[in-house]
Amino acid sequence: MTDDVKVADKTDSLTDLKETDEDLRLPSVVEPAHFPVETIDTEARHQTPAVGQRATRPDGRLHGLGQTKYIDDITFPNMLFAKMKRAGISSALIKSIDTSEAEAMPGVAAVLTGKEIPVNSYGPSYQDQPVLADERVFHAGDPVAAVAAVTEQIAEEACERIKVEYEPLEPVYDPVEAMKDEIKVHPPHSNIYATKRIKKGDLEKGFAEADHIFEGVYSTQMIEHVPLEPHASIAQWDPNGRVTLWSSLGRITLGRADIARTLDMPINKIRIVGTIVGGNFGGKNEITTEPALALLSRKTGRPVKMVYTREEEFIASTTRHPFIMEYKTGVTDDGMITARKVRLVLDGGAYCSWSETTLGKACILSAGPYNIENLLAEAYCMYTNKTMTGAMRGFGAPQVCFAYESQMDEIAHKLGIDPLELRMKNAFHEGSASPTGQVLQSVVVKDSLEKAAERFGWKEDGQ
Amino acid sequence: MTDVTLTINGEERSASVPPETSLLRLLRDEFYLTGSKLGCDVGDCGACTVIVDGMPVNACLMLAGQVDGRDVVTIEGLATLEDLHPIQKAFEEFASLQCGFCGPGVIISAKGLLDRNPDPTKEEIKDALSGNLCRCTGYTKMIEAVQDAARILRGEKEAA
Amino acid sequence: MRAFDFVSAESADQAVSLLSEHGPNVIVLAGGTDILVDLKHAKHDPDVVVDITRADDLKGIEVNDEGLRMGALVTHTEIMDDPYIQENFPALVHAAHTIGAVQTRNLGTLGGNLVTCVPSMDSGPALMALEAEVTVAGPDGTRRMDLEEFFVGPRKTVLEHNEVLLDVIIPKRNLGKPTDFLKFGLRKGQALALVNAASALWVGEGNTFKDVKISLGAVAPTVIRAPAAEDFLEGREITPENMAEAGRLAVEDAKPIDDFRASASYRRDLIAVLTKRTLDNAYRLAQND
C-alpha cells in the first residue's frame, strides 16, 4: 500500500496547497494609493464629481423605521435610573448635605455626593466644573447630589428629600460688572479667565484718515442648543474594575480622558460607546453626568442610566455665549473703512467649557470679511453665576456677525450708500489678508453677495 | 396599578402599570417600542407622536389608563417585513432626516395627514408638521418627501 | 410624575359622584394637554385623577332648540371639522386652528381650554363675543351661566372640585351672526396669543352697527368684553373711522401687563389693531351673506 503513494504526488499536492493558501491571503502590504502629484486647480464648486450627485444617508432607513437606538432606547437587565438634585441657588457655600432620608427610601439603591468623587472637577479646557458641587455652588443648575433608584420617579422623589444647607453668597450676573472682580465667581481667581487681542496697522492713523466715526454697542442673548434628544448616559462598572459608558457624548476620546481624570483611574479601564446622537450642535462636546453615573454603578453593581429632562437641558448643559460688543469704525466719505476698534465681552457663565475656542474665533472674525488695514480687537471672557456657556455652531462667529453687519447697515444709512455697495467696496478679495495676517485664497465673498442680491431681488425691491 | 388592554399596531397587548404612567412610557418601557421618542415630555416637540383611534396625538400627554381599549399605531407599525411604508421610503430617498430623533414623530404626523387628506397642499403639510420640532432644520426635505409619498399613495407614481 | 390614583367616568353624573367621593384633592382629566404638563411639573399633587374622556354625554356638536350646543369634550379638531360650524362660524374654526398643533388639537378639548382659564386662551373670545353660555353639573344638579360669569381669574373658574363643565351653548339668536377672530402670536404654530380678539355684529338699518360684541384675550386676568367700544359703536354708521375709534376705546377696556412675551404698550397697540380688523372682517362676512 505504501508503495502506491508517490512521493512526487505528495509534493505536488503540498505545493498546490501552499499556492491556494497564498491566494486566499489578503495582500499583506496594501498597494499605495496614488494621488496626483500635480494639484489640479479646478474652479471653485467644480472640484469633485461628487457634487451634484444624488446620495442617500446610510442611516436614513433606520431613522425612518424608528429603529435607531439612541441612549434612552437602550435598556439593561437590572438597570437603575439616576436623578440629580440641583442647587436652585446661584452662589452659595454648602454647609451640609443630608442624604439620610433619601437613602432610607425603598427603591433607592445609592446616593452620591461630591466628596465621594476622587477628583471632583472636569472641563474640556479648564477643569473648573465640579461633577457634584460639594463646597461651593457656582450656578443654580449645579448638581449637589445624585441618586440611583429602581425608577426615575423614586429617584426624583429621593432628590426632593435630600436636605442641603447653604450659606448664600452674593452672585454676579452681569459680565461687565464681573470685570471689576469685586465679586469673584471662582475665588481667588479673576473673573476674566480668557482674553485675546489682535492688532494690525496703526489704529490712530486709521481713525485720523476717516471722515466719519461710527460707534455702537451690540448684544446678543444666551441660546440653548435644544437637541431633540436630551443628554443621556448609561454606566456599567464591571467586577474587573472597568467601566463602560454608553453616552450621547459627541467627543468620546476627549471625554474618556476627562473621565479618567475625575475617577483617578487609568484610561484603559474606561470604555465609552458613542451611539447615534440625536442632535448635538456643540452642546454634547463634553462630559456631564458620566463620572457620577460610573460611581453610582460601582456603588450598586448595577447599570445606571440618566436622561436629562428638558429643563435640565436649559439649566445644566452648555449654551451659546451672550456677547456685549463695542464697535468703533472709521469710514471715509466714499464708504471705505479706514480703522476699526472692537471690544468683546463674553458672558462665560459659571464654567469655562469651550469659551477659549469661542473667544478666539469671535475675536479673529470680529472685523468681518472686510479689508481693514488698521484694527484692534480685544476680547474678554467672564465668569458669572449663570448657566455655563460653551461650544455652539460657529463658536462666536454668529454673534460678531450680528454686530459688524448691523454697523455696516448703520454706516450705509448714514452715508446714503447702498448697503450692498458699501459691502462690495470693502469686502475681501483674492489675496486679502485676514486680521491675523492669513493670505486668503478662493475668496468668493463678492460673488456670493452679488448672487444673493440678484436672487432675492435686492436691486428691484431694496431701494 | 392600572390595568390596560389595547391594540398596538394591530396586536392586542396588556399591561399593569402605575396610574401615573403616560402612554409614551407604556409604549417604551412596557412594550419596548422605543421608536416613539421622549423629547420634551410636555407636548411641545412631537417626537412621541402616535396615532390613537386614527388621530395623531402626543403620547406623552395621555395616561395609560386613557388608552384602555383603544387602537394605537406607532412608527413600528408602519413597515411590513417585506416593505417600508411609502412615507418611510420617501424620507429615506429624500434624506429628510439628519439626526433622526424627530423622524418617527414626523412620519406618524405625515401618515395622520395623508390618511385624512391624500392630496395636501404644501401649506397643509406645514400645518400638519407644525407640532413636530426638528432642530437640524430639515423641514424642506420632509415636505418634499411627504408630497412624494402622497403621489405614490394616490397611485400617480410608482414606488421606487 | 408623582403617584396618584386613576379612575374613569362613563358619564357626567358618574364624574360628579367620583369627584365628590374622592374629593377635595381630585383633578378632572380630559384632553390632558395642560393637566399632564402640570402634573409632571408637580404643580398639582392630586390624590385621585378622574378621567372623563369616556363620558359620551359630554361629547357632540348639535343645533337644538336653545342654539348650538358643543359638549365640553369636543376637541379643537372636531370644531374645525364640523360642517355646521364651518358654514356658520368660521371664526370658531379659525380660533380652534390657532391652538397648539395638530396633536394637541386632537387631544385638547373646548371645555378644557375654558376650564384651564388662562387669559390667553383662544377658545374664549369668539364664544364670548357670541354671548355663549355654559352648563355646569354638580351634586345638586346643573346650572347655566354666561361665559363671562364662568371665568373668575387667571386659572380660576366658578367650578367647585366636584363640578364639571357639561357644555357650551351659543344662543339661538346669535346663530349665523357674523363673527371674526384674530390672534397675534409670535409664530404660526404652537404659540400663545400676545393678544387675541373677536367681534360679532349684525348690520342694522342704514348700514349701522347692531348688537356689536367685542371680546379680548391676554389683556386682563380673564378673557373680557370691551363695553366702552361696544357702546360707542351701537347704532353708529359702519365706517373705518368708527372701527378705528372702537379699537382705541377697546384699549381702555383692557388692562394689559408686561411679561416675557410682550410689553403692555405693545399689547395696547395690538388691541387697537385687532379690534379694528375683527370688526372689519365681521362686517365683510355680513356683506357676503
Q: Are residues C32 and C67 in the same domain?
A: no
Residue B29 is given by DSSP the state: I
Tell which of C174, C192, C225 closes a domain.
C174
Q: Are residues C97 and C156 in the same domain?
A: yes
Assess whether pLDDT exceeds 60 at residue A242. yes
Instruction: Give the rounded percent of residues in chain A with a pLDDT score beyond 70.
Output: 88
pLDDT of residue A459: 79
Q: Are residues C163 and C81 in the same domain?
A: yes
pLDDT of residue A44: 59
Q: What is the mean pLDDT of residues B23-39?
A: 97
Peptide bond preceding A118 in cis form (omega within 30 of 0): no
- Residue C1 distance to chain A (closest CA, Å): 7
- Residue B49 distance to chain A (closest CA, Å): 12
pLDDT of residue A116: 98
Q: pLDDT tens-digit profile of A204-227?
A: 999 999 999 999 999 999 999 999
Q: Are residues C126 and C218 in the same domain?
A: no
Cell of C80: 374645525
A153: which chain C residues are within 8 Å (Cβ-Cβ)?
Answer: 1-3
- Residue C39 distance to chain A (closest CA, Å): 13
- Structurally, chain C folds into a number of domains equal to 3
- Please report, for the domain that includes residue C212, its CATH number: 3.30.390.50
Q: Do B103 and A64 touch (CB under 8 A)?
A: yes
Which chain B residue shows the shortest CA-CA distance from C75?
Answer: B55
B72: which chain C residues are within 8 Å (Cβ-Cβ)?
Answer: none
pLDDT of residue A305: 98
Assess whether pLDDT exceeds 80 at residue B33. yes
pLDDT of residue B80: 86
Q: Are residues C185 and C154 in the same domain?
A: no
Q: What is the per-residue burial (b if ≥16 Cβ within 10 Å, else e) of A60-96?
A: bbbbbbbbbebbbbbeeeebbbbbbbbbebbbbebee
**Cα separation, A13 vs A281, whole angstroms:** 62
Q: Does C260 touch chain A (CB under 8 A)?
A: no
Strand order in the sheet with A270-274: A108-113, A143-149, A80-86, A304-307, A232-237, A243-247, A270-274
> Between residues 62 and 121 of chain C, which touch chain A (CB distance below 8 Å)?
none
Assess whether pLDDT exceeds 90 at residue B159. no
pLDDT of residue A8: 47
Q: Do B130 and C101 touch (CB under 8 A)?
A: yes
pLDDT of residue B114: 98
ipTM: 0.96
Q: Where are the alpha helices (DSSP H) in A147-303?
A: 152-160, 175-178, 203-209, 252-263, 290-300
> pLDDT tier at A460 (50, 70, 90 boundaries)?
low
Which residue ranges of chain C lie beneath pLDDT 50?
none
For residue A296, give the 3-state DSSP assignment. helix
Q: What is the mean pLDDT of residues B33-55?
A: 97
pLDDT of residue A1: 45
pLDDT of residue A55: 76
Which chain B residue shows the shortest CA-CA distance from C103?
Answer: B57
Q: Please compute Rg for chain C using Cα positions.
A: 19
Tell which of C127, C155, C174 closes a domain.
C174
Q: pLDDT tens-digit profile of C141-162?
A: 999 999 999 999 999 999 999 9
Q: Are residues C63 and C142 in the same domain?
A: yes
Q: Are strands C48-51 and C26-29 parallel, antiparallel or unpaired?
A: parallel
Q: Where are the domains of chain B?
A: 2-77, 86-153
Tell which of C143, C158, C174 closes a domain.
C174
> pLDDT tier at A7 (50, 70, 90 boundaries)?
very low
Q: Are residues C251 and C231 in the same domain?
A: yes
- Residue A154 distance to chain C (closest CA, Å): 9
Instruction: Give the rounded percent of residues in chain A with a pLDDT score beyond 90.
Output: 84
What value does the mean pLDDT of chain C take?
96
> pLDDT tier at A54 (50, 70, 90 boundaries)?
confident
Cα-based torsion angle of the residue sequence A280, A286, A288, A294 in order, rounded to the nearest 10 degrees: 110
Q: CATH classification of B86-153, choosing from 1.20.140.10, 3.40.50.1820, 3.20.20.80, 1.10.150.120?
A: 1.10.150.120
First to last CA, chain B: 48
Q: Which residue spans within B48-111 are E strands per DSSP? A: 49-52, 55-58, 71-73
User: In sequence order, which residues have a C-beta less than 8 Å from that of residue A53 and are 6 or more positions away?
Assistant: none
For residue B80, give the 3-state DSSP assignment. coil
User: In sequence order, which residues have a C-beta less than 8 Å from that of residue C175 and are 6 or more positions away?
Assistant: C63, C67, C68, C88
The CATH class of B2-77 is: alpha beta
What value does the mean pLDDT of chain B take?
96
Strand order in the sheet with A192-200: A192-200, A374-382, A337-347, A323-331, A212-219
B116 burial (CB, 10 Å; 0-12 / 13-18 / 19+) is middle
Q: Are residues C91 and C132 in the same domain?
A: yes
pLDDT of residue B160: 65
Assess whether pLDDT exceeds 80 at residue A291. yes
What value does the mean pLDDT of chain A take?
91
pLDDT of residue A19: 53
Q: Do A157 and C2 touch (CB under 8 A)?
A: yes
**Cα separation, B36 vs B9, whole angstroms:** 13
Q: pLDDT tens-digit profile of C220-233?
A: 999 999 999 999 99
Q: Are residues C68 and C169 in the same domain?
A: yes
pLDDT of residue A22: 52
Q: Do A66 and B35 touch (CB under 8 A)?
A: yes
Q: Are residues C213 and C163 in the same domain?
A: no
Q: Are residues C65 and C170 in the same domain?
A: yes
Segments forming the whole domain that contains residue C35: 5-51
Domains of chain A: 175-224+319-420 (3.30.365.10), 428-463 (no CATH)
Q: Does A153 touch chain C (CB under 8 A)?
A: yes
